[in-house]
Amino acid sequence: MPAKLVRNLPGSRTRIKNAKREFISDALKQTQGNYTEAAKLLGIHPNNLHRLIRSLDLKTTLRSSQQVLWHEPRDSLLINCQATL
């Protein structure tokens, strides 16, 4: 989506952040918390995954929620999500 459109849509940044958080959380659930495997699933380098987790303030959320370690894989995560993130 062009940057001009994103700036003009009300609440778009929040929706994008929430989508990123959901993609990352789902990938970590699918990989039972393995950051390297989650990064592969998302199509990004593990260092970028760590950076995203910090910038989205997910680290405390992931730790405190004691997330379920496994669930059925989602088709949407099997595609390369690099462009989305």
pLDDT tens-digit profile of 21-38? 999 999 999 999 999 999
Q: What is the pLDDT of residue 83?
A: 45
Whole-structure pTM over 0.85, yes or no? Answer: no
Pairs from 51-60 (Cβ < 8 Å, separation ≥ 24): 52/20, 52/24, 52/85, 53/24, 56/17, 56/20, 56/21, 56/24, 58/21, 58/24, 58/25
Q: What is the pLDDT of residue 69?
A: 45
* pLDDT band at 65; cut points 50, 70, 90: low
Q: What is the pLDDT of residue 67?
A: 47
- pLDDT of 40 above 90: yes
